[in-house]
Structure 1
Amino acid sequence: MTHLTTTPMTHPAFAQARWHDARWTHKAVMGLFPTPLPDNGTGPRATSRILYRTEPDVAGGRILIQSDIPPVVDGVRTRPMDDVFVRYRPGGTVALLLHANTVRTINRTRDDGNVRTHRARVPDTLLNGWLKDRLEGAATLHGHIDTSPLERALGPRRRGRQQIITIYRATATITNPTRLIDLCTAGIGRNKAYGCGLLTALPTN
């Protein structure tokens, strides 16, 4: 069963409150769970499909945590996501919210024949296509897609720069409920350990 937990950012477990530090946030969120967590070889977070998103401007500041195993701390509210997933049906409409690390891999062949690989942020003109591609087979985007940047350090800074996260807000029509559930539980894109990839898809009808 998949659980969704709402945790205030003022919770005593976050007393140090270094929300600008993605590594600290990851450690703080993982500290809410029982130990040891199961590990099938992909790591405890991935094994229990733990995804989270910080929302400092909502309800006085909160963290949404989605996981197969619920956190074991007082002062948080947990509910089963099955109540939402059961409402998915072909042709139904959902409101989407996603904080994504929108990057692409670029390969360049050097003069010596060696291939240099690096990742770069997807250009603004291609952001809608990035999300459309990842929802293929699950839902079809329609209407206006709102995208806005959010600067945050994701792990070690590269060349002293922040990496930019894209916040997506959109609506979509469900084409395959099972595939959409898979995307919601597995997450979308990179840096899931650092607060990216949690797709919220709430039915609107």
Structure 2
Amino acid sequence: MHAAVMSSFADLLPNGGDSPRILWRVDRNSRAEVLLYIVSADRPDLTHLVEQAGWPTTAGWQTYDYKTFLDGLTEGSTWAFRLTANPVHHVRRTPEEPRKRTAHLTPRHQMGWLLARQEKAGFRVLETPADRRLPNGGNEHQLTVRDEQRHRFDKNELSTGQANRVPLVTVTFDGRLEVTDPAALRRTLTLGLGKAKAYGCGLMTIAKVG
């Protein structure tokens, strides 16, 4: 999918170079509904994807100018949001050992990863009203984490050509947020949040609360 998305831009350099960030995410809402979202500086041509999907003459894709929407974000406004991300932290077993990037594997720590980044990202995840909180806690915020996926794939090092086995853990967050810094949130929505952006992580979408 990463290669298919990159192939949607005729002027993109093969190795990325100084090309602007391209974000993408696949939402599998049901067995019969799979949606691909892309945020990019240039308009993509997805003809090859539509042809592979099987309906080249009846199906298509929709593109929108994002700037008008982004410019309309205001401090204090509330939105529903979705984010597929790669929540990680750095650990080491001994003081002498180099720090190693490791995935968070529990919903509590995965939520904590997002909450730790919300201020810098320009938003605040809304808290759950007191009368709707569970007696044993766990739902202090209007936030859920679901659809954990664990992947392993080979990646060749550019410097040595050696293939390394790379683990990747992704989860999807759904919740509600309040805009605290419109400029910072615009950066988050266009540049992404977290690691593994080349593998479908980091793209946050927001929608009106209804």
Shorter-normalised TM-score: what interval?
0.7 to 0.9
Is the Cα–Cα contact under 8 Å of residues 12 and 19 in structure 2 kept in the other structure?
no
- Larger Rg belongs to: 2
* Structure 2 residue 123 is matched with structure 1 residue 139: yes
Q: Would you say 1:187 and 2:192 are equivalent positions?
A: yes
Q: Counterparts in 2 of 1:1-205, with a 5 A limit?
A: 25-37=1-13, 43-44=16-17, 47-57=19-29, 60-74=33-47, 75-109=60-94, 114-122=96-104, 123-137=106-120, 138-142=122-126, 143=128, 144-153=142-151, 155-156=153-154, 163-204=168-209
How far has the Cα of 1:76 moved from its partner? 2.4
Moved more, 143-152 or 47-56: 143-152
> Cα 1:87–1:154, aligned 2, differ >3 Å: closer, same or farther?
farther
Task: Provide the secondary structure at the position in 1 that maps to 2:83.
Answer: strand
Asked whether the 8 Å contact 1:105–1:119 carries over to 2, the reply is yes
Cα distance, 1:103 vs structure 2? 0.9
**Identical residues among aligned pairs (%):** 28
- What does the per-residue CA deviation read over 1:42-86, in whole Å, with 9 as the maximum and x for residues that have no partner? x35x73220000123367322101101111344321101123213
Alignment length, in residue pairs? 174
RMSD: 2.8
2:108 match: secondary structure: helix
Distance across 2 between alignment mates of 1:155 and 1:53? 18
User: CA distance change for structure 1 residues 65 and 154 in 2, over 3 Å: closer, same or farther?
Assistant: farther
Contact 1:48 1:69 in 2 (8 A): no
Please give the alpha-carbon distance, in whole angstroms, between the structure 2 residues aligned to 1:174 and 1:90. 5
SS in structure 2 at match of 1:47: coil
In structure 2, relative to structure 1, the CA distance for the partners of 1:97 and 1:154 (3 Å cut) is farther
Instruction: Report the CA distance between 1:179 and its aligned residue.
Output: 0.6
Does the Cα contact within 8 Å between 2:6 and 2:12 map onto a contact in 1? no
Measured in 2, the distance between the counterparts of 1:94 and 1:175 equals: 12
Given that 2:83 and 2:172 are in contact with CA atoms closer than 8 Å, whether structure 1 keeps it comes out as yes
Q: Distance in 1 between matches of 2:178 and 2:10?
A: 37
How much does 1:135 deviate?
1.6
Say if 1:104 and 1:181 are closer, same or farther in 2 by CA, change over 3 A.
Answer: same
Quick one: distance in 1 between partners of 2:192 and 2:21? Answer: 8
Per the alignment, in what secondary structure is the counterpart of residue 195 of structure 2?
coil
Q: Structure 2: give runs of 5+ residues left out of the alignment.
A: 48-59, 129-141, 156-163
Structure 1, unaligned runs of 5 or more: 1-24
8 A contact 1:100–1:190 mirrored in 2: yes
**TM (normalized to structure 2)?**
0.72
